[in-house]
Structure 1
């Protein structure tokens, strides 16, 4: 099997001509899309087009010999589809981050959520009205964020001494009575790892804010329910927090908690958040600082930006505990890294290990 469909020979010209950069592989059966993505990558400073191929079989063959940092993957292609190929790509290119760029990203919510749960780092809908400047900026921003070297790896290759790990904050001594989890880029895969390890008898309410369009919410809740073995419901105004139930923030509102008589209930907040995210982790954490204080446990998984940091400051000030995902296992160490560098985290761990810490904080044994 050759690379007759490749735009630009694998491993040739661009890197040697323009220097080292983020190496990108485009996998799409549309010649128009391959051509547009290839031009965009070749024109962008810091990006290198490794190859553009029309099918997953060629991509897998190329990954045997070529190193890539980011893969732009279509899901619907002749032969082996993107969903079938995705786990094989992750196995062959362990350091590569996969960005699903597909029409399925809007219309096929279940397929997209499945791709994200299998390990794709992020998703973006194919443009419907052409590759305008706004779309180019979004796509390029995602490629740069996913292809950025982890800080520790960059430090090891630099001449300056390695940055010391962030200081850890003592955890609350109170038993956790509510668990709130925030995530963004790469979060669905990390949530699968976390909930797949978390005991089902945790016995406390669980709140989840994942940056995701509203159209994906139902498919996302179904995926959470399958992996956790717990009911996962859409958060609604006035909904009582119940032990052993996962409440998921909608795509168009922040999930916050307020007191109501002797209970705590959900209040959806649609006001803009400082981070600009909708939904945002900040209002969720800030509300728990007021309602639960030292008995609140906040967890931040992989994600771009710093959403969650301001809310984490309020939660920490109220005596609550923050746990974050480590850099090595994160698709993007933006959100968890921001909290860790602020000295707010009591642990910086892989999602598997975070599950054990959560169980301990809730006063139950691990799974």
Structure 2
């Protein structure tokens, strides 16, 4: 991996946490973005640990260039500028970072080392690095347009959501509900980011909130989204706090299962990049009810755990990169 940080002390400190673990190797350590780009022009790194505040180009601005130069490398932001729940952390994830981590302090070095290795292991589960293929023309699904679209995501999901939502026309009235694995403190910033990405209002779900056309609703970080039918034909959100079988809170499974009960074959479910198997049991319920299930492809996923589980259990009608999913929705398959 490549460490990019203007502090020599930080570079050495981070490298020392990695070096004892033979499954990872530091192949380079540089002090600014231009040096990182020069390194990547001749050498490869599977993972880049990137600071934000540096001389010249800052880390968040540099993300697109580093992702292109890295040819499939995954980037973890390691910076005191991206505390958990901060707007900068959400912005980094939206621009393509796979994850974020706060820089270590002397009294918290052990916790930093454990957290860093956990995140590195999660990215290593992706297996052999592959390049994303150019997007093909969007396929079409023969079923009638859905009355609701539900999306589940985890590691790498914010960037994937940005690619999926960008092509959607602002006039689209189908409501979109999202369960993204994030802490509760992230959610206000995440909602604001999705509002800008999708050019439509995005709300953090509240209990008994009515589902409204043309809006996005995201699960809060401490509850599952489920739904209750209303007498006038609409639906309201009901939040649940019980433990899901996946162990996740919020979990994609309760959202999908509830949608299957109410909308059946009038719903689409989409599972984007993420570690683990959350969403697989819910996808099974949606398929049994006749819903359409779409999974993100391996090549474009940061971690092909959640979508891979859906695909391996033969629950996906289509397996596509996020931009193609969005183009399919925008092209007329969904009005």
Please report the TM-score for the alignment, with normalisation by the length of structure 2. Answer: 0.89
1:179 aligns with 2:149: yes
Matched residues in 2 for 1:276 and 1:75: separation?
Answer: 32
User: Deviation of residue 246 (structure 1)?
Assistant: 0.4
Alignment of 1:145-184 (within 5 A): 145-148=122-125, 150=127, 173-184=143-154
* Structure 1 CA distance for aligned equivalents of residues 129 and 45 of structure 2: 19
Aligned to 1:91, the other structure's residue is in SS state helix
Residues 317 and 127 of structure 1, relative CA distance in 2, 3 Å threshold? farther
Deviation at 1:361, TM superposition (A): 8.1
User: 1:92, CA displacement in angstroms?
Assistant: 1.1
Counterpart position of 2:246: 275
8 Å CA contact 1:256–1:266 kept in 2: the answer is yes
Contact 1:296 1:321 in 2 (8 A): yes
Q: 1:286 to 1:245 in 2, by over 3 A?
A: same
Gaps of 5+ in 1: 1-23, 155-170
Q: Secondary structure at the match of 1:48?
A: coil
- Per-residue CA deviations over 1:187-234 (Å, capped at 9, x if unaligned) read 111111111112333321110111112222122111111121111111
Residue 126 of structure 1 pairs with residue 103 of structure 2: yes
CA distance in 1, matches of 2:54, 2:181: 27
Residue 33 of structure 1 aligns to a residue in which SS? helix
Give yes or no for contact 2:280–2:310 (8 Å, CA) kept in 1: yes
Larger Cα-atom Rg: 1
- 1:107 and 1:46 mapped to 2: Cα distance? 27
Separation in structure 1 between the aligned mates of residue 243 and residue 81 of structure 2, nearest angstrom: 28
| Aligned-partner Cα distance in 2 for 1:199–1:79 | 37
1:294 and 2:265 are equivalent in the alignment? yes
CA contact (8 A) 1:230 1:246 kept: yes
Distance across 2 between alignment mates of 1:298 and 1:224: 18
Give 1:237 shift: 0.5
Residue 76 (1) aligns with residue 46 (2): no
Q: 2:235 aligns with which of 242, 258, 264?
A: 264
In 2, are the aligned partners of 1:172 and 1:321 still within 8 Å (CA)? no
134-143 vs 287-296, which deviates more? Answer: 134-143
CA RMSD of aligned residues (A): 2.3
The answer on 1:347 being equivalent to 2:318 is yes
User: Which residue in 2 is equivalent to 1:331?
Assistant: 302
Q: Which residue of 1 aligns with 2:216?
A: 246
Asked whether the equivalents of residues 122 and 185 of structure 1 are also in contact (C-alpha less than 8 Å), the reply is yes
Deviation at 1:362, TM superposition (A): 5.7
Which residue does 2:35 correspond to in 1? 58
User: SS at the partner of 2:200?
Assistant: coil
State the Cα distance separating 1:110 from its structure 2 match: 2.0
Please report how far the alpha carbon of residue 62 of structure 1 lies from its aligned counterpart in structure 2 after TM superposition. Answer: 1.7
Separation of aligned partners in 1, 2:130 and 2:82: 32
Aligned length: 325
Scaled by the length of structure 1, what TM-score is found? 0.82
| Structure 2 equivalent of residue 221 of structure 1 | 191
**Aligned pair in 2 of structure 1 residues 250, 193: CA closer, same or farther (>3 Å)?**
same
Q: Distance in 1 between matches of 2:103 and 2:49?
A: 11
CA distance, structure 1, for counterparts of residue 42 and residue 129 of structure 2: 26
Cα distance in 2, alignment partners of residues 81 and 108 from structure 1: 20
The alpha-carbon distance between structure 1 residues 153 and 59, as it changes in their structure 2 partners (threshold 3 A), is: closer
SS at match of 1:315: helix
Residues of 1 paired with 2:97 and 2:39: CA distance?
Answer: 19
Contact 1:183 1:303 in 2 (8 A): yes
SS at match of 1:219: helix
> Displacement, 1:124?
2.2
1:18-29 to 2 correspondences below 5 Å? 24-29=1-6
**TM-aligned CA distance change 1:28 to 1:321, over 3 Å:** same
How far did 1:78 drift? 3.2
In 1, the alpha carbon distance for the partners of 2:33 and 2:327 equals 37
Please point out which of 241, 247, 255 is paired with 2:225: 255
Give 1:241 shift. Answer: 0.7
